[in-house]
Amino acid sequence: MMFALLLALAAQPEAASVDADCGGNTLQMVQCANRSFDRADRELKLVWDEIAKALSDQDRRFDDHREPRLEIARTAHEAWLAFRDAQCAVEADSEARGGTMYPLIYIGCRTEMTRARVQQLRPTLGN
């Protein structure tokens, strides 16, 4: 079960794009894109909480004095969050440096990467 979980953790994000569901003027599009990101971010937090609970249970079963799995996994997850934001800055920079589209591309990229990670993590739950 943990093996499958870890394989899933490793899958990679897709390229960035602007949220197709968002219309209106630039400000409205940014607000809409932010809402999409917030939804994806909440989902990721829920999935992560489930995984943290599973790892915590596992750490209790393996009383082998090794570094807790949960701490290693948490460090990896936090590193992924930092990578997501840095990678999306590069993508937005490449597509729209200094332009009005920059925030839309940046937010859209973070939403897509977050959704992709949720999809990778979710199937591993409940196993």
Partner 1 sequence: MIIAALLLLAATADDPSIDCDNQRYQVEMNYCAGKDYEVADVALNAQWKLTVATMRERDKTIDRSYDTQPTHYDALLAAQRAWLTYRDQHCLNEGFAARGGSMAPMLHSGCMARLTKARTAELQALVEEY
The residues of the shown chain that bind partner 1, judged by CB under 8 A, are 2-3, 6-7, 9-12, 15, 62, 64, 66-67, 69, 72-73, 75-76, 79-80, 82-83, 85-87, 89-91, 93-95, 97-98
For residues 30 and 51, which CB has a smaller minimum distance to partner 1 in the complex? 51
- The angle subtended at Cα 27 by Cα 20 and Cα 100, nearest 5°, is 80
Nearest to 109 by CA among 96, 121, 122: 96
Closest contact distance (angstroms) between CB of 5 and partner 1 is 8
By 3-state DSSP, what share of the chain in percent is helix, strand and coil, each rounded to 5?
A: 75, 0, 25
As a whole number of angstroms, the distance between CA 125 and CA 108 comes to 26
For residues 39 and 71, which CB has a smaller minimum distance to partner 1 in the complex? 71
Closest contact distance (angstroms) between CB of 71 and partner 1 is 10
